[in-house]
Every structure is written in C-alpha cells, then in structure tokens.
Chains A and B, each alone.
Chain A
Amino acid sequence: MTNAWTDIKNTDLVVIMGGNAAEAHPCGFKWVTEAKATRGAKLIVVDPRYNRSAAVADFYAPIRQGSDIAFLMGLINHCISHDKVQWDYVKPFTNATFVVREGYAYQDGLFTGYDEEKRDYVKDSWEYEIGPDGYAVVDETLQNPRCVWNLLKQHVAIYTPEMVERICGTPKDAFLKVAEMVGECSTPTKTMTSMYALGWTQHSKGAQNIRGMAMLQLILGNIGVRGGGMNALRGHSNIQGLTDLGLMSNLIPGYLNIPTQKEPDFATYMSTRAFKPLRPNQTSYWQNYRKFFVSFMKSMYGPAATAENDWAYSYLPKLDVASYDVLRVFEMMKQGKVNLYFCQGFNPLQAFPDKGKLAAGLAKLKMLVIMDPLQTETARFWEDHGTFNKVNPADIQTEVIQLPTTCFAEDEGSLVNSGRWLQWHWPGGSPPGEAKTDTWIMAQIHLRLKELYKKEGGAFPDPIVNLNWSYKDPGDPTPEELAKEMNGSVLVDVFDPADPTKKVLEAGKQLSGFGQLRDDGTTAGGCWIYSGCWTEAGNMMARRDNSDPGDAGMFLKWSFSWPANRRVLYNRASCDLDGKPWDPSRKLIEWDGTKWTGYDVPDIAPTAKPRDVGPFIMNPEGTSRLWVRKMMRDGPFPVHYEPFESPVANVIAPKIRGNPVARVFPDDWKTFADIGDPAYPYAGTSYRLTEHFHYWTKNNHVNSVLQPEQFVEISEELAKEKGIALGGWVRVWSKRGELYAKAVVTKRIKPMTVDGKTVHIVGVPIHWGFVGAARKGFTANTLTPFVGDANIETPEFKAFMVNIEPSAGPVVA
C-alpha cells in the first residue's frame, strides 16, 4: 500500500477491482464503511462475481476475468477525452511532458523490437530523447507528438466504451457510469482510492493490470494524497516483510538486486546503478545504492567483507536467468534437476499451478524438508488418499523430513502489514511438544553445515564459514539481535571530514536512519529501508501510542512504518507546486516557507524547495511515470492481452496468444486448451472465502464447521443448460485435471456476452485438500495452468478454461 488501512476513511471514492476486501480483508474493509458513513464516500466494485463487497457497493459493474486492462485503458481514454485530468498535478508531477526517442512505436498489440522466437523485446527505443545538456527533453506545452501524453492519448484511443463492452462483457452503460464517477475525482478536492489484491496479480499480465490503475490515479492526481493511492491489500501476514527482505531468487534486502553473470565484478555491477538524475535538481535517491549495498554486505559478512575484496562481492551467487522463480524451479524439478527442496511454512502442492506437474516434480527429489506448525498436503504428497491424491507410496523415493515449528502465538518479532507498518508482537503460549522456532532451526542448519565445511573442506566454503553470525547464542539468535542488525549500526568511529576532532558516528551505536549508512565499510545494515526501526532510543516497532493528531489517520507513534516512519508514500505530491495542500481539509504536509511540516514524515528532504525538487524522489526524473521506459518486459504502456486459455481471440490483436512475452515452458503449451476450444467452453476463476485462509484453516475446527465442504459456483443459466441442481455434485475439469464438488447455483454469477459470444463463468474456491479438520476435497490447482506473469511470474490462477457436468460425486474408496 502507498497509504494505510486507517487512511481509507479519508477517501471520496473507493474502487475495488482485482480484490474482494469485504470477504478477504474484512476488518480493513471497515474503513470503507467508515468513509461511506462519515464522508459520504461512494464504493464501486468491478468483479466477475457479485461478491459481498459488491453487495454493499453504490455501483457494481461485472467484468470478465482477465480483461481488466481493457477496462482501465477505457477509463483513461474517457478521462483524457472528457478532460477529467488534474492538469496541475499531471504536468509537473508525471512524465507526461517527457519526449520519447524516435523509433518507438506501437501497433497491433506489439511495441517496437519484438522477437517472436525469443518471446522478448529489444527495448532500445523505449527511452527518452536526451538533450545536449544530458537531461531528458521535455515539452511543457504538450505539443510534441512524441511526448508521453500524446503517445498515451493515441495508445488508449482504441479502448472506447463499445470496445470495453466487446472485450470485458461489461455493458456500455455500466462502464460509462463507472467512468463518470471516477472522472469526478480529477478535481484537487476529490480523491479516489484503489484497493486490489490477487484478482489483479494472478494473471499473465498482472503487473500491467496494476500499472493501468496507477496511471489512472496519476492522471486524477490521487497518488501521495490522503484517501488516495494504490493499495495492495496483500495476503499473508508478512508477505510485505518477506518481499522487503528480498527472500526471492533475485533480491537483496531493501529492493537491491542479486548480480547477474554479466556483472562479474563490483565495478561492473555498480556501473548500471548510478541513477543519474534525468532532470536538473532531482534527488534520484537510488544514487545512494552503494551505501545500502556495502552496509548490507558488512551485515552479511562482517570483517570478511573488505574494500580490498569488493565487499565480498564474489560470495554472492550470480544469476544466469532473470530469476529462479517457483515455476522455473518446479519445471527443473520435473526434469530431475533438483535434489533437495525446503518448504518453510509453505504448501506448494496447493499453492502453485497444475498439481499433477508439481507432484511429479516432488517425486523426483532426493529429499524434501518441511518446516511447518501444521500438517500440509506437500508433506504428505507421497501418501495415498484415494481419489483426492492417488499415488503408490512405494513408487516414490523422496525422503521427507518434517520439522515442527512454532506459530505466531509462540514467537516474538515484527510483521509488516499492508500499510508498511512494522508491528512488534509478543508470545503468549509455550510451543506444543518439541516444536522449535524457525530461527533456531535455521541456526542449527547453518552451524552444522559450517562445521562440516570446516572439518571436510569442499566447494567454496568461504561464504558459509565467514557468514557473520556473532549472536550471543549462535544456536539461537534472538529477535532483538536480528532486528537491531536489520536496522544497522556503526562499526567504526566516523569523524567529520571538515573537522577531524568531531565524531559524527560512534562505533557500537545503532543508526537512527538510513541517511547515516555509508559506503566505506564503517556502517552495517541488513535492510536499509527498515533503518530507524530499532535505534538508540529502542524498539520503535513496539510503540503502541494510538494518538492521531488532526484525526489524519496517520498514527505516527504506533509501531514503525518504512521508510523513515512515513505513512503515505510520495506525500510531497499532496501539495501543489508551491507546497500548498491540494485540499486544505486533508492536509498531510505543507511548505511553511523554510521547511516541510505536517501530520506525516515528509517524503522529500525537509528543506528541499518546492519548485526545485520533484515529489518522486526515488525516480531520476523527479516525476512519476505514465510511461515506464524499459522497466517492464511487456511494454511501456499496458495492452489488453487475453489469458493463455480464453473463450475468445484477442479482439484488438487477433494474432497474439496470451501475453506475447510471458514465459511458457515447451511441454506446457500442450497442457493449455486452445482459444475457444469447445471441449473447455467455460471461463474458470479461483478465489477465497471469508471463513477460510488459504489451506491453513481447514486445520481449524471452527472454520471447518463454518465452511465444511468444497463447492463451485455457477449461474442459474449454466445450471439449467447443464441440468445441474443446487447442492448437486458436479465434475469440473480442465485440460490438466479434474475435481468433484457440490454446485452452488447462484444469481451472483451471470453469463456475459463477450465479442458477441455468451461466456459462462465457473467459480472455484480454493480451500480444500486431503489433510485437516474439514471434509476432504480436491486441490483447486488441479485445474490451473502452469504460466505466470511476464514480469514477476505470478501464476495465472484467475483465468483458465474448464468444462462442467452433473455427476454422482467422487468415488471414495
């Protein structure tokens, strides 16, 4: 989230699209109710189902899953053509005025530079024109046909209300009603907020769905303001934290990158990370990258990271592909290229697509290690559960070690909520049986491995034996020690270069924030964006003062929010060019003539003069981006692409299948239904229920009583056509597998007309499996396709094709 849950009360219009907050984030959704009750805010829901968010909406518009970009580009087209643009925001605060290089073009769904064989672009033309002064060329008058604004206008022109109806199945009137309500928020005193979740991410173009809305929010002037923003509701309790800390193939904590093999040494690695400002006076905060990186390496490797060895740069693995994301790893597993696999609190047999392929992969491992508080399907993938998991254990040679871990109620530490608040928590109970904390387990594994390398030698032991592990009890580091390490500390006294008698940093002290990090090895810091979370003043994450000056919804003394305890990202943009709030009744910060003051921590240097320095300090432009240059694989603007499995061909680019740059492994093409394949005529989608959390709560008696049994949801029309009764058994199958479930026949789902064709939707909740307290069921990922988003490889769980028939139910032996 750019903003916070408590800030939603400040909005005038909530758009829930790509999520279902009333059911999946109920206590956060309260703030929508609050805004409706106290400000008279309106709620729009755009979703394939008339869900419980829609039930309390002021307006609901149906949409076919996988067509969100057409809808969003349609909204942008509407705002541009009806002059619903906050010009005083767009001109100075976005890159609308920037001129794009000659050579860039877009036609029939493709940008310049497409290589069909590689399914990739050569993106050289997707850049700004650079002037003789070394800065990007801008045209304040917006006359240049190659400025971003004019390219955008041209790009979205095809997404007319008629086209939106044709692609999305949303009736034109409904679309226009949404467009009208959204357009009203282009004034400086009206604000819209976007609430989205996996309904947008789980597509082969998920990242571009979100970009589409971010662009719209910029055009309306709604980023950085109270009651505005792009608000990813987020799933697990610390999914934000794990991302911040870079527990991903290609990341280093704080959104730094693992090097690739094209960057054999530190100098080469840094050469593309200069982040030189693209306009005069801009902050371009990533210029400090080297400080963040070196301090991280000091935290990882302590004295073993020195200036002489390039801060142990060789210790970091170098990537040969963009990333070893889970889809790639399970593909490798299926090919027998993975031997050992760890699942820490993770149930991949249910969490990734195409269960059949996943199970085949797990069966090729030599060893699978499970660390979990609960039983999981993955831990028992080798166990025969009849029709729910038909296997012969004797055929599976994988050794499985299952380790019992503590849960939230038995451990201490911080979790990051969707609003980036790091909230410390305390344990309330003793662990059951022999369960241990994950930290203890990781420490034990590390110490044993280190011992083996010390004793026996072996392949490149250096990064293991030199790992900085200077905890009081190396076998059990404490949460306090680890939190302090992430915050960062001073390693060596630092003196003022102008006055060598003046000590500016004292060895052994905690840093007060990331502004103190240095690139000469004198500071260490595990995660720069968390710096400030545990300072000399103590544990900022444990703060529990719920005062809220001005009723602004900021709560600056409650826990700690990254970065720098800031609650609304880009809050400089809540003021006009001169530093006056767009809406004085919703002030966040303002320029008092000498500095920035207000209810939030300013997202700009406190004395940076308003007309000099742009609000988007992380970007070299100083502005936000309507056009993203080369930063996304599938194009600088979003384009409507159909899901890989779709009932219709792409109306705007009939020759293109799916997202043209999404990665598909050769064997998987065969597992996709053809476009419009009559054998799989219905559009499937997956989702959660309010009573369940993924695959956990089927281990919970109460939740299993509330929602005991697997079902699928279909319209009355489809039920009639197929002879399916309410509560009757059905069989649902895709090209990859099948499941049996009870049918919920409902008015909440209606058939849609897409490009002249009737499309029925089959809704598949995901919560069942073959272990737990609920009735056994089929894992929903039996049905879903093995393909991910082109930029970040999030699987396409939200749009796939199935067939359905009435049935006698599963044969349970």
Chain B
Amino acid sequence: MNMELSRRTFLKTSGAGLAGTTLGAFGFSEAEAAVAAAVKPFHLVNTTEARNTCTYCSVACGIIIYSKGDLKKGEKADIVHIEGDADHPTNRGTLCPKGSALRDIVKSQTRLTQPMLRKAGSDTFEAVSWDVALDKIARAMKDDRDANFVATNADGVTVNRWLTTGFLAASATTNETAFATYKVVRSTGILAFDNQARV
C-alpha cells in the first residue's frame, strides 16, 4: 500500500538524520541542536512492522505491530509497540481500551514460558520438558481410549466413539490452528468437543 510504504520510508529515512539535517535547515542554533540531539529518538525508528488484528472481540480491528528484529529474516523479534491500522476499513486506526493495551497482554508477567506438571495431591507446579509432557499426554490418551472406546452400542451398531476424554478448543486461535485441532481431535472419536461459541 502506498500509505504504508511512504510512512515507513519516512520514519526510516528521517529518524536518524533529523538533528543534523532538518534542524539545521530550519536555522536552529548549535545549543538547540545539541538539545535536540539529546532527545530520545522516536521509538518506532528501525522497527519492523507486521499487520495483525486485535485478539479480543470480533470487531477484529486492524493493528500494526512494531518490533525490534525482523522475523522474516529469521531474527528474534521483540515487540515494542502496537497501534491501530489506519488503512483498516472497520476501525480506521482506532482502538478501544482493550486494543490500546495489547502490547501489555503480549508482555504480561503471567505469560507461560515452559511446560509445567502438577502431580496428584501436590501443591505446586514443577517444570518439565516438552518431551516429557507430550509423551505423558499421548500415553494417557492411548490408555484411556483403549480402555473406554465404544466400538458398538447395545444394539450392535458401529458407533466408534470415545466419551471419557474431552477437548475444549480456543476461539482466539486461527482457522488454520482450529482445522488442525479438528482433525486430531475428531480422528480419535472424541465427542465431548466444544469451544467458546457455546458460552
């Protein structure tokens, strides 16, 4: 988009050279230029942008995520700012009190960072590896399914259902995640399957 391009180019080209060129051209004195140079540069300088949508309600306001580091180049990217996408037809750049604070949910102190296990009767979580966690889950599923799978009902009709395990799916995940989830869950014969649309 033109707008996106011009804006980004403007930020990148004008940011660093601001004190030396623009201010000089306006005729500021050296002292003033020194003050201007000491001012913290605009915090979106040298960030990469990603187009995204707000994670909360289904108005689905367009947002732009600004990060230090470029995921597309395989770098680590640290999100420094999120704001409304002015080109988005629905929100035209505006965000509500929830959307305006999106950066702080991404950076929440209570984000989970490693797999945890709470043993039966314990009063605490302990860290485990992904392999330990996933192997435990697969083993528990297999054992429960083998023990409780209903191949035929009382009338001898093939029903192939598994009722002792259930799955709640997340309606803030993408369609693509949801479809992968659907395939995995349904293939096991689980019927206790639901998502937030129910509530």
Quote the shortest CB–CB distance from B164 to chain A (angstroms). 5
A772 CA / B104 CA spacing, docked (Å) = 13
Query: Does B140 sit at the interface, judged by CB under 8 A?
Result: yes
Q: Judging by beta carbons under 8 Å apart, are B123 and A404 in contact?
A: no
- B169's partner among A337, A344, A412 (CB-CB below 8 A) is A344
State whether A459 and B146 are in contact (beta carbons under 8 Å apart), knowing that A238-B173, A241-B175, A546-B89 are contacts in the complex.
yes
Given A437-B177, A438-B170: A24 and B57 within 8 A (CB)? Answer: yes
| Contacts between chains A and B (CB distance < 8 A), count | 496
Of the candidates B78, B151, B170, B173, the one having the most CB atoms from chain A within 10 angstroms of its own CB is B173
Asked if B12 is an interface residue, CB under 8 A from chain A, the answer is no
Q: With contacts A261-B153, A548-B89, A700-B104 known, is A448 near B65, CB below 8 A?
A: no
Give Cα distance in the complex from A410 to B167, angstroms. Answer: 23
Q: Which chain B residues border A323 with CB–CB below 8 Å?
A: 191
Q: Within B52-91, which residues are at the interface with A (CB < 8 Å)?
A: 52-62, 65-67, 69, 71, 76-79, 82, 87-91
> In this assembly, does A181 line the interface, its C-beta being within 8 Å of a C-beta of chain B?
no
Q: Least Cβ distance of A349 to chain B in Å?
A: 11
Q: Is the CB of A400 within 8 A of B166?
A: no
B-chain residues with CB within 8 Å of residue A248 when the two chains form the complex: 193-195, 197-198
8 Å CB contact of A413 from B135, B144, B176: B176
Interface residue? A794 (CB, 8 A)? yes
Q: Which residues of A contact B116 (CB under 8 A)?
A: 400-402
A-B contact pairs, 5 of them (CB 8 A): A407-B105, A408-B55, A418-B58, A432-B111, A477-B176
Bound complex: CA of A352 vs CA of B145, how far in Å? 26
Q: Once the chains are docked, how many angstroms separate the CA of A458 from the CA of B188? A: 12
A292 within 8 A of partner (CB): no
Question: B105 and A247: CB pair below 8 A?
Answer: no
- Which residue of chain A has its CB nearest to the CB of B106? A409
Instruction: Report whether B145 and A399 are in contact in the complex, using a CB–CB cutoff of 8 Å.
Output: no
Name which residue of chain B comes closest to A436, CB basis. Answer: B130
For residue A237, which residues in chain B have a CB less than 8 angstroms away from its CB?
Answer: 53-58, 60, 171-172
When A and B form their complex, which 9 residue pairs have the shortest distance between CB atoms, in order from nearest?
A345-B170, A433-B113, A413-B174, A428-B65, A404-B112, A448-B138, A417-B60, A428-B50, A459-B149
Q: Cβ of B121 < 8 Å from any Cβ of A?
A: yes
Residues of A within 8 A of B183 (CB): 300, 446, 467-469
| Proximity bits, B121-159, A CB within 8 Å = 1, else 0 | 111010010100111111111101110110101010111
Rounded to whole angstroms, the CA-CA distance of A413 and B53 in the bound complex is: 11
Does A795 lie within 8 Å of B182, measured CB to CB?
no
A342:B167 contact, CB within 8 angstroms: yes
**CB distance B197 to A773 under 8 Å?**
no
> In the assembly, what is the distance between CA of A719 and CA of B37, in Å?
59
Given A235-B58, A253-B179, A691 contacting B97 (CB threshold 8 A)? yes
Measured as residues with beta carbon below 8 angstroms from the partner, the interface class of chain B is 35 or more
A375-427 at interface with B (beta carbon < 8 Å): 375, 382-384, 393-405, 407-418, 421-423, 425-427
Residues on A with C-beta less than 8 A from B114 are: 404, 433-434
**What is the CB-to-nearest-CB distance from B142 to chain A, in angstroms, rounded to a whole number?**
5
CB distance from B13 to the nearest CB of A (A): 22
B96 to chain A, nearest CB (A): 4
Given A247-B181, A409-B79, 17 more pairs with CB closer than 8 A: A234-B57, A238-B178, A248-B193, A264-B157, A318-B160, A339-B165, A396-B120, A401-B133, A402-B112, A403-B115, A409-B55, A414-B175, A430-B69, A438-B177, A456-B142, A485-B179, A697-B101
On chain B, the residues within 8 Å of A795 by CB distance are 199
Does A239 lie within 8 Å of B160, measured CB to CB? no
Smallest CB gap from A772: residue in B: B110
A242 at the interface (CB under 8 A from B): yes
- Write out the residue numbers on chain A whose beta carbons fall within 8 Å of the beta carbon of B97: 26, 690-691, 703, 706
Across the two chains, which residue of chain B brings its CB closest to A246?
A: B182
Tell whether A426 pairs with B160 under 8 Å between CB atoms, given A346-B196, A402-B112: no
Q: Which residues of B contact A468 (CB under 8 A)?
A: 183
Chain A: interface residue total (CB-CB under 8 A)? 165
Inter-subunit contact B95/A253 (CB<8 Å): no
Q: Which residues of B contact A699 (CB under 8 A)?
A: 105, 108-110
A375 with B197: in contact, given A245-B179, A479-B174 (CB under 8 Å)? Answer: no
Contact of B58 among A239, A396, A403, A458 (CB under 8 A): A239
Taking CB atoms and an 8 Å cut-off, the chain A residues in 203-233 that contact chain B are 233
Q: Are A467 and B69 in contact (CB under 8 A)?
A: no
Collect the chain A residues with CB atoms within 8 Å of residue B141's CB: 340, 445, 449
| Cβ–Cβ contact A318 & B158, under 8 A | yes
Partner of A240, one of B58, B71, B119: B58
CB closest residue in chain B, given A463: B187
Question: Does A771 sit at the interface, judged by CB under 8 A?
Answer: yes
Q: Are A247 and B98 in contact (CB under 8 A)?
A: no
Q: Out of A405, A548, A696, A794, which one reaches B198, CB within 8 Å?
A: A794
Determine the residue in chain A with the shortest Cβ distance to B132: A401
Q: In the complex, how many angstroms separate the beta carbon of B149 from the nearest chain A beta carbon?
A: 4
Shortest B29–chain A CB gap in Å is: 40
**Chain B contacts for A410, CB-based, 8 A:** 106
A793 interface hit (Cβ, 8 Å): yes
Q: Are A425 and B53 CB-contacts (below 8 A) given A444-B134, A459-B149?
A: yes
The answer to whether A190 has its CB under 8 Å from any CB of chain B is no
